[in-house]
A and B are shown apart, each in its own frame.
Chain A
Amino acid sequence: MKQNYRASMIQLHTYSGLFMGWLLFAIFLTGTLSYFSNEISHWMRGAVSQPGKVNSQVDSAFQYLLKQGTDSHSWRINIADKRGSELSVQWRDSNERHSHSLTAESIEPQESKITRGGRFFVTFHYTLQLRQYGGRYLAGLAAMTMLIALYSGIFTHRRFIKDFFTLRTRTFMHFIKDAHAVSGIVTIPFVIIICTSALVIYINLFTPWFAEEHFDNGYRQMSREVTERLPDISLENRPSTPLSSLGPILEHAREVWSGNVLLKQIRLDKPFLSTGRIVVEGVDVSALTNNTQKLVYSSETGEFIGQPSVEGVSRKVRRVLYGLHEGHFFKLDLRWLSFLQGTIATFLIASGMLIWVRKRAEKKTHNHRLLAIVNKVNLSVFIGFPLACLAYFAANKILSASLLNREEFELAAFNYTLLFSVLAVTFLKSDKSKLLLALVGTLVSGLVVMFDLTAFLRALEGGDNIYASVGVSMWFILFINLFVSWHLWKRYRRRMQ
């Protein structure tokens, strides 16, 4: 339509951003929080405990399973790590799945709050809470749109060096335009990796045609062919009793693995049959891939059976991209850097949407009703989502640990706060709604800090750094909210006079 290449790219950049901007904001916000999902879960469970030694953890969990999981055909032990994930056991009988948190010191289940914790943000990030209704397709569409917006954005903001060193603060429009360009330049590599890997992770879902054409059972069959296979135990299938201790197996696993591999999970398939196997999984903390290293043992004799077959190259590529997306291998500094990049990318999306409205409002030639609608949705999303996340934290701290279905109440707090933001923005004038939502944000973050105070002080005393760090972040959020509320209150009063 436009003859000039750059003009075409500007148009594409503008409308692709507008098309998916709100959804992308929510996805990037929850994705950024997901970098600390384990730490957030630890804080939300409210359990202030140290992980303990691996051998004691395994011993405690295994003894618990020997006692409780007698009717089960599958056991799982998840090892606690330094990022706050807890020691837990899972087993499955014919009727249902069971899951309990334990400590290394005792085989009694630990009392901690039942919550989705940081996993809620991870799940929201890729399903948008619409798992059965095409949420993952929408997230994939958003990732593709972001890549298109990024690619066309490179041509739109082509003066990289000049843009990078320009940040005018004379007017809001100048500032937001320059900040948008700077944040775009800073996050180009991050966004490329994140969006590409997001598409590759759900490759089976988004591009099923190629496999459907070449394989009878489509992607399932193809995935089986490129994925590693665990070795089989070719023994007579008869009733049996599992080992009494996993100690010798752990010793052998340590000998096989180098110092970089940390034990993550132990799985026992069919523990009461002679064909049962124990799969010991470890994470190589220096590897990009999200794949675990596995060693297989007989559950009856403890004999080492072998390692899985080698995966195909294509599957390895996917696993590396998966690892890069989720940042399994990140140490604390890199995790914070990625969190910062995610925050800047979230700001990039929001600033782009604000520029679109402001530019057209200044010209006064555009459809004002459309501009007003976009402006209101902007406010609802950009204030509503962070506020809903805060409400989710507040509900976790306020609700009693013994409350039935407390997970659902936490979710309801998230959803209703979002709805409240939408209603406030819809029915109030812009200044009033901003002030109201900022005050609500201050109140909610104040409640989080207040209800968390005892546990926060206990964590400081007990040396639980993960809990204390998240607690400090909540104080930081409270101060930001106070500052924003005070600033908006001053502006509101000035306009009223």
Chain B
Amino acid sequence: MVIQELVRQHPHFFHTLSALAGSSVSSVSLGFASIPLYQRLFEFTLSEAVYMSSMTFYLIFLFVFTSSFVKRGPKAILLFNLQLCVFALLINIGLT
């Protein structure tokens, strides 16, 4: 109840906070998931795949963070990012 009241009083702050937290976690998950993807698709060595995944992390973060702002509230944002995390997990399981 207290949290709900806080969210109601400071909607901008909590919206931004959840977008930042959610997109950070999901971008890192997608970054990890992209490592086996680089290895399989482009036949990169492990070190090269890790390097490339670090580079793509920024791009993923940019799009996930901005997309989070279109969602209707902190709950929707966190759900959206949770879906991305599950997607990243599936890629990892599927490729390794």
Give chain A's interface residues, CB within 8 Å of chain B: 1, 3, 5, 8-9, 11-12, 15, 144, 147-148, 151-152, 196, 199-200, 203, 207, 209-211, 213-215, 222, 225-226, 312-315, 317-318
Could you say which residues of chain B place their CB within 8 Å of the CB of A222? 47, 50-51
A207 in contact with B72 (CB, 8 Å): no
B48 in contact with A312 (CB, 8 Å): yes
Residue of B nearest to A3 (CB): B72
Q: Shortest 10 CB-CB distances between A and B: which pairs?
A: A314-B51, A225-B47, A207-B54, A314-B48, A8-B69, A12-B69, A222-B47, A210-B50, A203-B54, A199-B58
Partner of A314, one of B15, B44, B65, B66: B44
Q: Answer whether residue B93 sits at the interface, using C-beta atoms and an 8 A cutoff.
A: no
Task: Tell me the chain B residues, 16-70 only, with Cβ under 8 Å from chain A.
Answer: 16, 28, 31-32, 35, 44-48, 50-55, 57-58, 61-62, 65-66, 69-70
**Given contacts A15-B16, A148-B62, A152-B66, is CB(A210)–CB(B31) below 8 Å?**
yes
**Given contacts A144-B62, A317-B55, is CB(A312)–CB(B47) below 8 Å?**
yes
Could you say which residues of chain B place their CB within 8 Å of the CB of A314? 44, 47-48, 51-52, 55
For the complex, what is the distance from the CA of A315 to the CA of B47, rounded to whole Å?
10
Apart from the given pairs A144-B61, A207-B57, A209-B28, 20 other A-B contacts in the complex at a CB distance below 8 Å: A1-B72, A5-B70, A8-B70, A11-B12, A12-B69, A15-B12, A15-B16, A147-B58, A148-B62, A148-B65, A151-B66, A200-B55, A203-B51, A209-B32, A210-B53, A226-B51, A312-B45, A312-B48, A313-B44, A317-B55
Task: Tell me the chain B residues, 54-96 only, with Cβ under 8 Å from chain A.
Answer: 54-55, 57-58, 61-62, 65-66, 69-73
A318 in contact with B51 (CB, 8 Å): yes
Interface of chain A, main secondary structure: helix
Residue of B nearest to A209 (CB): B28
B28 in contact with A203 (CB, 8 Å): no
Residue of A nearest to B19 (CB): A12
B56 CB, nearest partner CB in chain A, Å:
10
Could you say which residues of chain B place their CB within 8 Å of the CB of A200? 55, 58
**Given contacts A15-B16, A209-B28, A214-B35, is CB(A312)–CB(B50) below 8 Å?**
no
Interface of chain B, main secondary structure: helix
Could you say which residues of chain B place their CB within 8 Å of the CB of A147? 58, 62
For the complex, what is the distance from the CA of A494 to the CA of B62, rounded to whole Å?
49
**Given contacts A314-B44, A317-B55, is CB(A214)–CB(B50) below 8 Å?**
yes
For the complex, what is the distance from the CA of A245 to the CA of B15, rounded to whole Å?
68
B30 CB, nearest partner CB in chain A, Å:
11
**Given contacts A12-B69, A225-B47, A313-B48, is CB(A151)–CB(B62) below 8 Å?**
yes
Could you say which residues of chain B place their CB within 8 Å of the CB of A196? 58
A203 in contact with B55 (CB, 8 Å): yes
A226 in contact with B11 (CB, 8 Å): no
Partner of B11, one of A1, A5, A15: A1
For the complex, what is the distance from the CA of A485 to the CA of B35, rounded to whole Å?
58
Could you say which residues of chain A place their CB within 8 Å of the CB of B46? 214
For the complex, what is the distance from the CA of A1 to the CA of B66, rounded to whole Å?
13
For the complex, what is the distance from the CA of A464 to the CA of B54, rounded to whole Å?
45
Could you say which residues of chain A place their CB within 8 Å of the CB of B54? 203, 207, 210-211
Identify which of B44, B47, B71 gathers the most chain A CB atoms within 10 Å of its CB: B47
Could you say which residues of chain B place their CB within 8 Å of the CB of A12? 66, 69
Could you say which residues of chain B place their CB within 8 Å of the CB of A148? 62, 65-66
Could you say which residues of chain A place their CB within 8 Å of the CB of B35? 210, 214
For the complex, what is the distance from the CA of A318 to the CA of B16, rounded to whole Å?
31
**Given contacts A144-B62, A199-B58, is CB(A315)–CB(B72) below 8 Å?**
no
Could you say which residues of chain B place their CB within 8 Å of the CB of A199? 58
Could you say which residues of chain B place their CB within 8 Å of the CB of A312? 45, 47-48, 51
For the complex, what is the distance from the CA of A317 to the CA of B32, rounded to whole Å?
20
Could you say which residues of chain B place their CB within 8 Å of the CB of A9? 66, 69
